[in-house]
Each structure stands twice: as C-alpha cells, then as structure tokens.
Amino acid sequence: MFVHPPVLSSVTFTHQVDELSKTMQTIIFDIRGHGKSGSFWKTLTYSLIVEDMIQLLNELQIDKVFLCGYSTGASIVLEFLLTHPERAFGSVLVGALSEVRDSSLKRKISLAAMCAKISAVKPLAFYVTWSNSDNPKLFWKAFKEAGKGNAKNIEEYYRSSLKYNCTARLPEIKNPVLLVYGAKDHGFHPYARLALKNLPHSQLVFVPDVKHQIPTKAANELNLLIKNFVVQTMERSPGIQLG
C-alpha cells in the first residue's frame, strides 16, 4: 500500500505498480483533495489520512499490508505504525522524516503551503511533478492528476507535515522497517540517521546516484529493495501470503 506526499498523487508510484503487481497485490490511493479524490471541508490531518487507509483496507477486506511511504507520505506511514501496528507486516520508508527540523526544509514546505493557500496549485503541481518525473509521458500524466488537487487540502497536508513530530515515539514501533534514501539527498541524511537510531527493527539503504525522487528516478532499485524486504519479512513470518 503506497502513500504519496502533498500535491502528488498515486501516479507517483506508476513504476512500482507496473513491476510489483506482477507478483503481489498493490494498493494505491489518492489522499483527500489530491488527484481523483474529492476535497474535504474539515481540516486534513495525518490521523485522518491514516483512518482513511484503515477504512480502505476494511473495504477491501484486507487485514494486514506492507506499507510504502514516500517523503512526507512516509511520515503518514510512521503515524499508521504508531496507531495501528497490528494492520501492518512492515514498511518501506523512502526519504522519510519523523519531524522537520532543518530551516531549509521548513522554508521549502512553508513556501509550498503558501502557494497552495493562494490557489497557485497548477504552478506548484508543475514544479513538483517535473522534479518527480523520469520521462515526458509520466510527467504529463502526473501533472494532470496533481493539477486536480484542492488548494485547501494541499495546504493542510503541508501544514500538518511542518507540525508533525513523532521522533520521541519511534522506539514504540516494533514492525520491521526498511529505510531508503538517495545517496545524493544529503539534506535528508540526518533524518536517515535519526530514524535508524530510534527505530528498533530498521535497516538503512542509500541508493547510489539519486537524490530524493527515488520512486521515479531509481524505480528499478526501489522495486528490488521492496521485493527483497517483503521476501525477508515473509521468511521470518511464514504465515504471510501475498495476493
């Protein structure tokens, strides 16, 4: 089950779905006010997104899943593991952060939230999808979906990301976690070390020659890491079956 960051949609995981669906069931969804999902008049929060994920799993009659979150989508996965650990076998966190602590990232997220606040969704969507695309076809598809986003919900997702901090609670997470970061994503390396230090059952991998946009620009490497992680977790828990 894949979780995307603000502005982007489930299209972000096109390469993962195309490859991983050959051997396992994959689940993608658009967060409220993103992509094909309708907007929501109440404030969009991490806890609400997690509850939507639980409702989706219940609707699909799926008890437990492997989770994969990208960027602040990985923060959503951390919240899921903290509140509903029994519904997850484990998780792959791509460019994860348990809190936003450096001024540079705070400025970037604040600027994106400001763009959403003034309803500049299309320019924001263009910038984000361009940086997260590895070919023109994927860019136009991702841009089309991102441009449908609701400005209010996008801003709320960004604001929630600025405020969220679960670092002190990371030791509570007992699920196995694979941490994946780009070797060139130097600004996120402190977050990688922070997560590795505090997550009791985690392992860390740096993907060579890539920055933050791993799902699209290092898709083959990420897909292989996900496959291996699932297999290793299954070997430790033989009762797991894939659809």
User: Confidence band (pLDDT; 50, 70, 90) for 241?
Assistant: low
Q: Mean pLDDT, the chain, as a whole number?
A: 96
Nearest alpha-carbon partner for 178 in 30, 74, 49, 22 = 74
Instruction: Give pLDDT, residue 238.
Output: 58
HEC string of 5-48 equals CCCCCHHHHHHHHHHHCCCCCCCECCCCCCCCCCCCCCCCCHHH
CATH architecture of 2-236: 3-Layer(aba) Sandwich (3.40)
H or E stretch including 57? helix 46-59
Residues of the chain with pLDDT > 90: what percent? 94
- Could you give the CA distance from residue 98 to residue 191 in angstroms, rounded to a whole number? 7
pTM > 0.85: yes or no:
yes
Q: Give all strands of the β-sheet with 2-3 in edge-to-edge order.
A: 2-3, 65-70, 88-94, 177-182, 202-207
For residue 32, give both structure tokens. 């409220």
Whether pLDDT at 240 is above 70: no
Residue 42's CB is within 10 A of a number of other CB atoms, namely: 9
For residue 101, give both structure tokens. 């602590």
Domain ranges in the chain are 2-236
Average pLDDT over residues 98-127: 96
Instruction: Give pLDDT, residue 122.
Output: 95
Average pLDDT over residues 170-196: 98
For residue 94, give both structure tokens. 């791509």
For residue 78, give both structure tokens. 């951390």
